[in-house]
Amino acid sequence: MKRSVPVVLTVLLAFYLIGRLNASNSLTNSTKIDKLVVVKSERRLMAYSGGKLVKTYRISLGKKPVGDKQFEGDNKTPEGLYTINDKNPHSGYHRNLGVSYPNASDRREAARLGKSVGGSIKIHGLPNKAPFLGKLHLLYDWTAGCMAVTNEEIEELYNSVAIGTPIEIKP
């Protein structure tokens, strides 16, 4: 038990320092994001403005992150070309941006499997009941197929990403 206390404190300090480093790279209120790219294998969400990368976010994914989402309940994050189609300031998570999943290809694949395609894929902050998690949420993939960032990061994205913005989700 005594050995685990220094390990826990070291991990917390590391996440605090990582958070401080990322805080200096905040988007300005005038930054308008015109494209998002997610690379699932790297747990990265990249935000572009005017064709230029302006910020990279570390993300958590669905509980089963490898492979494309095939049906509702598979806990996978989809892969493909989508758009941001909704903004919700009052969800069960601290704000969210809706992703236009499912597309026609997603519907065909789920139908081929005889399953419901599902929906409600989001980029969201932390659960409203656990905002204290901060960057600790990055320790594992915990969503049902969404992409999660910290509450401060979803605030930036929410303010800078318009409905209709393209998002490409890569393996």
Q: Which residue numbers are catalytic? A: 124, 146
The rounded Cα 137 to chain-centroid distance in angstroms is 11
Query: How many angstroms separate the CA atoms of 116 and 94, rounded?
Result: 27
What is the residue-wise DSSP string for 32-80? -B-EEEEEGGGTEEEEEETTEEEEEEE-B-BSS-SS---STTS-----E
Q: Please report, for residues 50, 67, 147, 168, the alpha-carbon distance to residue 32 in angstroms, rounded to integers and kept in the order given.
A: 8, 31, 20, 17
Place of tokens 């929410």: 158
Amino acid identity for residue 107 in this structure: R
